[in-house]
Structure 1
Amino acid sequence: MKLKFKHQRFQEEAAKATCDVFAGQPRRESSYMIDPGQLARGEMKLDIDDYTGFKNNPITNALTDDKILANIQNIQRANQIKPSDKLEGHYNLTIEMETGVGKTYTYIKTIFELNKRYGWCKFIVVVPSVAIREGVYKSFDITQDHFAEDYGKKVRFFIYNSKNLTDIEHFASDSAINVMIINSQAFNATGKDARRIDMKLDTFKSRRPIDVIAKTNPIVIIDEPQRVEGAKTKEGLKKFKALFTLRYSATHRKDSVYNMIYRLDAMEAYNKRLVKKIAVKGISFSGTTATEGYAYLEKINLYKDKNPTANIGFDVKGAKGVRQVVRSLSKGANLYDLSEGLEEYKNGFLVTDINGAENSVTFENGIKLFAGDVVGTVNEEQIRRIQIRETILSHIEKERELFSRGIKVLSLFFIDEVEKYRVYEPVKGNGIYADIFEQEYATIVDEYQKTLFEDDAYVAFLKSTVAATAHDGYFSRDKKGNFVNSKTERGTSESADSSAYDLIMKDKERLLDRKTPLRFIFSHSALREGWDNPNVFQICTLKQSSADVSKRQEVGRGLRICVNDQGDRMDTSVLGEEVHSVNVLTVVASESYDSFAKGLQNELAEVISDRPLKVNIALFADKVLKDTNGEAVEVTSEMAQTINYSLIVKGYVDKKGELTDKYYSDKASGNIEIDEEVSAYRESIVGLLDSIYDPKKLMPDNVRENNVTLKLNKERFNRTEFKKLWKLISPKSYYIVRFEETELITNAIKSLNSNLRVSKIYIKVTTGSMSKISSKGTLESGEAFKKDEQQSKTVNITASDNVKYDLVGKITENTGLTRKSVVEVLRSIEPAVFEQFEYNPEEFIIRASELINEQKATAIIQHITYDKLDECYDSKIFTEPEFKGKLGTNAMIAERHLFDHVIFDSNNEKKFAENIDTRTDVAVYVKLPKAFYINTPVGKYNPDWAIAFEEGKVKHIYFIAETKGETHSLQFSEADLRETEKAKKKCAEEHFKAISCDNVKYGVVSSYEELYNIVSK
């Protein structure tokens, strides 16, 4: 397989922010370091240190420091970043990007954009370690074709090696885009190899490599500057004589944030669903005396038709000694009897209570365990066995859930010694962790298969897997090819041996292929920064956490959004709102959930401590908002008061200035209400509200609280009513849109003329005067200057003539129209509308495409028809995925649902399910899985509910319902929905008409009562 890459708006915005700093710089191709003509005419003398090659053109004299600072301030205002008071270096620019969102991709894109706009072509990427260096090199490699499609050229990139100076020759003499990747130790260490960069070398024409590099006038990109910029490295970086420096990290040091121009921190990345959601399986240990028996509560099993059971781990006496087992036990089970009479369980280890509501077990002796608790004498091996078992359980549950989607699941174990995984003396074999893994894997797989349908495709997969081939190790190797403990770089905990990274980096695509049996990876803890595979869903650290390893480091290797077996990224564009139910990283921690979660939360709070904490007038004042037409406005104090008061009145903000549950509920259902006076700025206002630091947002899930796994009710599944319903709604369909493109063109022109508004850049101008001077010649006030007034001005900044935009091509790509049609639309719009392209090309393209797509959606509503296909959805969409929830939070017990529980996404869905579940006229209903969708010209559409009524009690016995907030009804307000959403609803109506001949009714309702009124007429 081959990994695929998508164009993501935030990455484009980050690249644009960097390029816009130098707006006004002319585009020129890189120039010769030496002018051969001048040299031939004797107008200049060739020095031995000079070298003929290409260099980045300097920043033009016309682009003064004041102009660059003004550019930076404009960019910062647009990105809601506090404007800088001054330039901090010539020039240092900071970009903050959360781990896992594609930081390396972003700066590679920025390299291409800087070359495209200004002609700059010499770049140096400085990294802190071998691991990151290898990862960066791999990123350049796998994105080559992707960027070549966008820019029509490729980058020449290499890793600096003091013994291979030919690469530096090519770097300097080549006029194409060249990137040198170098780790900081290569120029700031004291070893001989590091010193070579500063030495005149006979093998390099008696020149110093650093001088040749510096003469290219390079742009320096620092990856993780907080780990690079010690005093020694800062001095070393000066030798490169950078044109300017770009600094990328998720965790910049607060004293080293220079002119930040773009920010995507942990909270924003999570809000935008750009990283995985974090869940934690904590393990809490208590009891140390030998008189206490070892007992471990793995989980509680809940059932509809019988009492709960508990999976309890305990010791059992065997022929060869005591071993640990996990058994599903009921109330009344006695560990003394089950352990074959072990003395440790003689004192009251009889199960007296199993509480499914609080996930606990109580023994006769008073010991009470909650899920994840361990009591008694627990040695190191038992702790690690529990962690390994928990990781395998999470892996298999996730693997089954994603199996039908073609997504391979990987789990990563970090260990501190190779000997615990592999031994070579006296003979090669498993270490203790590998043995435990194979034992637990075989047991768990055998138990798990018993709970699945025999025809389940995942059963066949599990039966084909072998414990011995499911795991492997990634470690440094010696000359014999044996695993060895990594040598660490001085001053770090990371491997200095590049062989440790070969398999990880070079076999990334192979690992993602399900044909490769490897799914569990054991790796040295020093490789933490080197791991970069998107399909890591479980991370387990089989070592004592040290103080120098942060929780964020532990989770960092698993945050990337996963990919399927075709290399497609499973993000919001594919999964929509479901993205965080698929993309979940489970951390199996050797501490309690509360301890791990609090530690992670404290670290995140420290990183984003400068975020606003409350909703108040200051949150909105002086900010730049955009209306529905893209027109920008700077918020006055009066407008800020209006917005803040509106949010309080609507119940979205409490008296403490904190966001309420009502805000989050209405936001989830798309029903945020804002006063009409400022409603045009709804999207921007919500964006500012999302900037509030709310610890609850980043709190990881407690896996053990997800105590409900939906079980299919076979009796309801086999009911005649459901079989008839499924037969009617399972056929797929195809659509045809028959309309004249001339009609769409005409409507698009009208819409662009009426609605296309591209925002202008606002600059705040503050004037001040000297305070009054007293008769003694001193200032009467405490300040030298007094602020007199503020005003906002719009400034039209036209795009440089040297920056070329494929306007027609981009709009064609975004709308699906032909180039000919796009040209006709652009030629026909009013000149004043088209002129907006000059001062904001990117926004012009985005807004114009949106407006054309709205007209396209309108045309679809009027002209689309659906026809039935022979192909149908398989009923396995109900049996192959595994649906989970938390009882009382997002799950409820159900009497008539296809499963024993219902998972709901909102309060409105909960109310709907509660009502429908008690109705005797309902035979069976189901919350339709996300895998059930209707194809439409404007994206996939997944209805909410399928309901089969008792025959004879209502007119329409089969109904497909979409539940919305109370502001919606079956005849929903046209003004309340975007054109694309209305188009999806229309497509759903036509689809069900086509496949069921009107035997299935479709509608959007706000309550069951409304639904019943429809079906009973």
Structure 2
Amino acid sequence: MRINLEELQHQREALDNIIHNFPLLDDVNSQDKNGISATSIYANPLIQYAGQESAFLDVKMETGTGKTYVYTRMMYELNVERGLSKFVVVVPSLAIKEGAKNFLTSAYARQHFSQFFPNKQLRVYQILAGDFAKKNGRYQMSADLEQFTSAMTNDKNTIHVLLMSDKGFLDKASSALFKDHYDVSLITSARTPAEAIMMTRPVVIIDEPHRLKRDGKSYSNLLKRFKPEMIVRFGATFPEKPKTKNHEIDYYRSSGPVYDLDAVRAFNQSLVKGVEAIYPTLTNPDSAQYKITKLSAKSVTFKSRNREYEVNIGDSLASVFNDNNFDGDIIYEGSKKLSNDLELHEHQTLISGTFDNSYQELMLKILIDEHFDKEQENFFREGYQVKTLSLVFIDHIPSYRDQNGWLKQAFERLLNNKLDDLIRDYQVKTDELSQSYLDFLRTTKTSLNSDIQTVHGGYFAKDWGEPDDSAVASERDDILHKERTLPFKNEKGEWNLRRFFFSKWTLREGWDNPNVFVIAKLRSSGSDNSKIQEVGRGLRLPVDVKGNRISNQEFYLSYIVGYDESNFADTLQGEINQSITDDMVLGEPISDAIIQKLIDLGTHGKTKRAVQNTLADDGILDDDFNVINVEGLRQLLPKVNGEKIKKRPNGVKQKNKIKLNKKNWDKIKNLWLTLSKRYMVKYEDLTTMGWLLLLSDILQNDILQVQHSEQTRQRLTKNDDLSGVLTLQATNEEYLETSIGKLTYGEFIKRIAMRTNLSIQIVHQAFSEFLPEFVQNKMESGRQLSDYFNESSVSSFVSEFKKRFDNKFATLYRYQALAFDASTSIWDKSKQEFKDEVDANLIGQNESHEVLIDETVTLYEGPSVRFDSEVPELDLLKQKYKPQVTSFGKLPKSAIKIPKYTGGTTTPDFVYSVNGDLYLLVETKADNKRHTDDQIVDIQSKFFKQVMQDKVIYKEAHKINDVLKVLEKLND
């Protein structure tokens, strides 16, 4: 299929600004600073300000608005205007490189540019990973690089473009580009490939500059080794200046980009698709949130409901959290990654219910429903048809690639169900177009269930190692060559069925396809990538089956995320609108984006100069058109005066670690030799009849329920006030009954047994006795009993069981010591001694420098103390104790791991050593205690009474006197 390119107004504006700001030829100097002749037949002509970063150019264009088109046409126009013919295009990834190569070499692009430059040809060279390999004992030279550097520039009609990724070539000192061990003679006196490139005096184009930051190795080597006479960066987002506190963007020129097509303008002028975010609400009411408070390669600390959990390498989340909503045995593999390939970052929040495979299936169902809603709309649209495509980001490649992977199986099962429904609907329609669509659906179903299906495909980084004739390579090439997936039929008249793409991170940047109408992100990416970058894969306006870009109607991209990213649309809206408020900087030039918005308002003039003069007359700008009245400027643009992010208050930087005062810890070592043992909770046996009575009582509380789903749709829309700001419209769509989450009876009973530690036999017996009564008296008419066996019913049962167990069996357990030690926050079980230091936040979230440290008794080295509450914790730390107290201090979390019958562990807050052989352990509580606080006190009290007997006194303290009275009695 041939895509019909157009010359669009915003692209023409960008090109005009680039050419206007591009330096003229240097007619004064006979050679450049590297000694290369200004008239070298291998090099570009010498330009003014060559190599000066302050003269380099930035072009900011929103994703999907045609950056590749603009920089390609820029090369043609610079060849005509300045005689430049040697260009190097540097990209940060293989996917972006393939996309650029496909465009630069495509027949449709060449035909389009030949209209404007009939005698010009653009020749593309590329550097590949194996180009410099050693063969027969001799190092090879890249043929493409040799041809690029030795191409003569006296052929005025040929433009030479070297395309390369920075990965492996510019990001390390050992790059083949910097070595001089090649037998091939390069141009003139060049010793290395990089020096040969430098001698062409190239103009470098950087695509996606936020990935090639100026303080990074790739950029540094690019500047030093290639010594380009000009760099032009093209991107939707640019990096921040390093080591700046006010998030200042790192542009080459103080005036900013020479062209700035920001997100607001792109959305408001309908240069890209609109965006609506959709997320399903949680089907599991027991879902809990776990926020990462500390992250390292070896462990992760989560906080949930005022409790902290430490997850080490190999630990199962379901086990540590006692939360079986983490479907499957997801473990922490280390290096900040879970076993499902999810990359973690600090402050990230995991919601257990979103890790249940049934929730992922629900997202897949929404994806499929959204896809076919848009597919039918685009197939039956007036005029030419539009092929509809969808993109799915996943986090675990084997779940899709493996033949029996759950994701692949779930997707194909749901897709088959949807196709059956649609085929049934269209079988009764007799018009020609409906019959054509029916054939499309039937062919899709046939292929989906064949040995080699062509309906969906994946693209992952490792796919480059697959043979070119493999099915995986076919999927990869279809996705990378967008023109392959845009027509409905191939040249043989056969249906082109590929329309669902799966990827991990590889397609998150640089790649796009104009006909992607739905994107689903099955789990949080765990990255800080721009939300605009993420949705950018489907922002480009679609093309019809004739290759024509459609710009005369409004299209929306559906972006499906999980409940853990339910603020996605808010974040996206804020990021888009932020560009307006960020441009209002006191003392800085007014941005072109704000001027354009004032032109749209029509209140200050119709041209840039007219607006600047009017604002200067009004005291908003000075004579140099710098902003001198920010608030006045805000008032001109309604609803643009949003709050800025508050700066963090200045203060003392808190330490990450606190040293243990080892001599005082050694005073309580005998206590720790006992407490460091691993203990387990052992329940007293209950008769079968007792368990059945409990379960029967639970089942009478409307436990069984039909599972429904609700989804929220948030659409970014334009404001009528012409302020340029995008607003958010959210709608909660009706509860929809779904088969997602349904379980067979056997799986239903098994899940309840697993999550309650009950035997399958007892659970089955309880349900066998209950179900006949339920079917007769409580089951809704028209329902099947199987409708009630689902995830929601499991969660309701488990939740009610925990409540009943809490009330009835809280005392029916005892502690049993195991034969090995527990790993705690302060005890090194391998060395059988206390650790040297501990994480400060495990001791307390607050810090005080006002407490005088008595090093003879305190457990930590100063100069500050850590605490969670002022009353009574800080009061206890300030207190001066009598000599009988030989050591004391606040215990870090997980210092003693007392198992709780409700799951997890607990640790008291304070420890005191009195006269060297008696210990006081204190749990501090506020006066307004919750039920869970009482549980903790009861658990700790029972543990110390059973395990330590008369060697430990345990006390619950609400105020300092509660502790002092006990100490007084012990001193007596």
Which protein has the larger Cα radius of gyration, Structure 1 or Structure 2? 2
Which TM bucket (shorter chain)?
0.3 to 0.5
Q: TM-score, normalised by structure 1?
A: 0.46
Q: TM-score, normalised by structure 2?
A: 0.48
